[in-house]
Every structure is written in C-alpha cells, then in structure tokens.
A and B are shown apart, each in its own frame.
Chain A
C-alpha cells in the first residue's frame, strides 16, 4: 500500500514481503517474498552475506519493465532454528522457582546490560519510556503495583501520552533490558531461547503476565490493545 503511494509520486519502489497472501492482494509494483520468520526480513542477524543476497534480489526487481511483479526469494535460505512466529507467554509454563524480588533482579540485569552496551557500541532497544536505566527501579515498582490492581499514576508521564501507552513503553523497556542482558550473558542463544527464559524464569516476566491480564480485563479498547502488546 505504501509502495503504491510512493510509486504514484514517481518513485520506483521494491518491497520485501513477509506475507505472500497479503502481497498477492495488495499488489505493490515490485515485491520480493522472503520465507523468513517474522522479525527477520533480511534473513539472519549478523549474516551480511545472506542480507546482501536478499538486498540484491530486491534491487534486481527495479530493472523490471512492467509490474506488478512478485518474486520468491529462494527457499534454501530459510533459517531453521527460529520458530516462524514468536512463542507467546501463554504457551510458556513458569518455572518451579523464580526470583522473588523483581527490583533486585532488575538491578542484576542492569549489570549484564552494561556489558551489552559495551559490546554493542551503545546500541540498545531500551529507551521508549524516557526513564533512564539508573532510575528504572521506580518503573518496576509502578508496574508491580499496577499488576497488583492498585490505582497508579506515574509521576513522569507526559500529558500527551495516555497511561496504557506509557505502560506499554515501560513494559517494552523492561523486556529490552532483560533480553539484551540475556544476550550479553549467553551470546549464542536464539531469540526463542530468550523469549522462553524471560516468561518462564524471571520475576519480571511474571509481573508482566499480571500487567497484561489487568489491561485485558478492562473495558477500554486502548487498555485491551496495550495488553495484546505486553503479554498474550
């Protein structure tokens, strides 16, 4: 759809398609269907050779004289280890023993996250809530209280950001801190390993399950939408 809008303005577009069935209907001018799991549009992270093959295959479509064109990227490039779509919290059983104090656990994760930052050159998915990692303890307390059903307001919420949006950003930052800490701890793990660890073994995961449940129980569609993004 976006491709069509840009093309109509005189640009030649080429798109990477993740859902062939949708692309067949929308008919962008030129699209390359890739067989990779969601979140892997260019193939695999840290695999520039595969990424270049995908990039080049998408560029090659620009030479087509007419369209719409929908081409398949060769199947043999499919990464085998990740599931096609992420495992969700509801499909992961909590472990028998889980740390009791999410704030203490978060403080431990921050140490690993520092290692992540040193290794990644400062690249981090953390930072949507606007609350720095050094003061994230307050966010943890806020989410714990919210999960427990208390009526909470967050002091740092900007007036233009609705509460469910801020809860979503806080939950995303919390996850990012843990996910990247885990990647620093165990660099070889798969994305699915990290997801399963988070929802099964961490106190944060259990708090976010409850945050999701409370949002889901609301009659407000904005709260329900936030729940769909926190835990399902």
Chain B
C-alpha cells in the first residue's frame, strides 16, 4: 500500500483505528531445504474462491480451497470492499494471486514445486479469533499434510 502519509485523512484514520494485534516476537520455522527443492503454496486474504464455491459473507472467518489446477476463469473474488481497486484483479489475477508467476518460477527451477492446493481467506476482517484458533491452524495442518514447505501470503 501507499505509505499512510500519502493517503487521504479519512482512509488513514480508518486504517489506524482498525484493531490490530500487538506482538513482541514471532513464531519462526526455518525453511527445511533450499528453495529450489521446496514446495510452495499461496494463501491469499483476497477473498478469492472457485466460481461454484460459497462466496465469503461479511465477517466470514472460514477458508476456501483452490486446487492448483483451477483455471483463472473459474476464480472469483467475493472480497469486494470499496477500500481497494478491483480493476487490477479484473485485468490480471496475478496482482493478488500470482499463480502464473509461481508456475514460471518453478519452471525456471528456482522453486521445487507448486502445492496441490492453495487456500483463501476473507480480507479486512476485524474479528480474527476463529482464524487464529481454528481455521488458520487447520489450513496449516492441511498444508503440512500436502507436503508444503513454504507459503506466500498475499493480500488485495
């Protein structure tokens, strides 16, 4: 995003007033093998999902699975906040879900492989307790079971 000092005051204040968790430290997992041997999944908070899947509703702390082979034409976005421009995603899904870039990086041998499934959450949520305690760890377990080493998290 733009640096906050370049935003109109209303946007800036809305953002600064959002409840944000404050932490002193972070959990840390070292990458177990070189990038060129690691399998990467994308987890996005852009509210994307398969066209025939259930759209995200307000405050929805669930997640949706996007199988890696899903064609871009079958992906829609039900995170449609007026706080971000939807035109870039209409033009190019990679702007928030860089699936083509991921495939290209794997083809160049810089990454070991693409995960079988990517995952999606709703963005701009105020209450994150259920994600923190339930659905976040659940997606973590699923990714581990799917042999994933590393995750790229992308917003809108």
Q: Complex formed: what's the CA distance from A190 to B88 in Å?
A: 9
Shortest distance between the CB of A48 and any CB in chain B (Å): 7
Contact assessment for B139 and A6 in the assembled complex, using a CB-CB cutoff below 8 Å: yes
In the complex, chain B residues 72-125 whose Cβ is within 8 Å of any chain A Cβ = 72-73, 75-78, 80-96, 98, 100-102, 104-105, 110-111, 121
Q: How far is the CB of A25 from chain B (nearest CB, A)?
A: 5
CB of A163 closer than 8 Å to a CB of B = no
State the CA gap A42–B93 with chains docked (Å): 10
Bound Cα distance A18, B72 (Å): 24
Q: Would you call B89 and A125 a contact (CB within 8 A)?
A: yes
Complex CA gap A5/B149 in Å reads 15
Q: Which residue of chain B is the closest to A28 with respect to CB atoms?
A: B26
Whether the Cβ atoms of A2 and B121 lie closer than 8 Å is yes
| B23→A4 contact, CB < 8 A | yes
Interface residues of B, CB < 8 Å — how many? 85
Residue A169 contacts which of B45, B78, B104, B141 (CB distance < 8 angstroms)?
A: B78
Per the bound structure, the CA–CA distance linking A63 and B149 in Å amounts to 12
Q: Quick one: which of A11, A14, A161, A176 contacts B144, CB cutoff 8 A? A: A11
Q: Please, which residues of chain B bring their CB within 8 A of the CB of A86?
A: 82-85
A135 adjacent to chain B (CB < 8 Å): no
The bracket for how many chain A residues form the interface is: 35 or more
B62 at the interface (CB under 8 A from A): no
Q: Which residues of A contact B83 (CB under 8 A)?
A: 38, 85-86
Given A6-B139, A10-B140, A59-B105, A48 contacting B100 (CB threshold 8 A): yes
- The yes or no answer to A84 lying at the interface (CB within 8 A) is yes
Interface residues of B in 6-49 (CB under 8 A from A): 6-8, 11, 15-16, 18, 20-32, 35, 38, 40, 43, 45-46
A6 touches B30 (CB 8 A): no
Chain A residues with CB below 8 A from B152, complex form: 13-16, 55, 58-59
State in angstroms the CA–CA spacing of A85 and B11 once bound together: 8
Given the known inter-chain contacts A45-B91, A59-B111, A125-B86, please indicate yes or no for A16 contacting B154, CB distance below 8 A: yes
CA of A194 to CA of B100 in the docked complex: distance in angstroms? 26
Q: Please pick, from B76, B104, B144, the residue contacting A125 in the complex, using a CB distance under 8 A.
A: B76
B143 within 8 A of A: yes
Q: Does B137 contact A (CB under 8 A)?
A: yes
A112 to chain B, nearest CB (A): 13
The interface residues of chain B lying within 8 Å CB-to-CB of A190 are 87
Kindly state the separation between the CA atoms of A179 and B88 in the bound complex, as whole angstroms.
11
A194-B87 in contact given A38-B156, A85-B2, A123-B72 (Cβ < 8 Å):
yes
Scoring A10, A68, A127 by chain B CB atoms within 10 A of each residue's CB, the highest score goes to A10
CA of A206 to CA of B150, assembled, Å: 46
Complex interface: chain A residues within 8 A of B6 (CB): 84
Q: Determine whether A39 belongs to the interface, using a CB cutoff of 8 Å to chain B.
A: yes
Cα distance A231–B82 in the bound complex, in angstroms = 8
Give chain B's interface residues, CB within 8 Å of chain A.
Answer: 1-4, 6-8, 11, 15-16, 18, 20-32, 35, 38, 40, 43, 45-46, 51, 55, 57-58, 72-73, 75-78, 80-96, 98, 100-102, 104-105, 110-111, 121, 128, 131-132, 136-137, 139-141, 143-144, 148-156
> Can you list 29 residue pairs at the A/B interface with Cβ under 8 Å?
A1-B21, A1-B131, A2-B136, A2-B153, A3-B153, A7-B26, A11-B29, A11-B140, A16-B154, A17-B155, A19-B1, A20-B1, A22-B20, A25-B21, A26-B22, A35-B3, A42-B101, A45-B88, A48-B101, A55-B98, A55-B101, A58-B152, A123-B73, A123-B93, A125-B86, A172-B80, A226-B58, A228-B82, A229-B80
- Per CB-CB distance, the 5 closest pairs between chain A and chain B, nearest first, are A9-B140, A84-B2, A5-B136, A191-B87, A18-B1
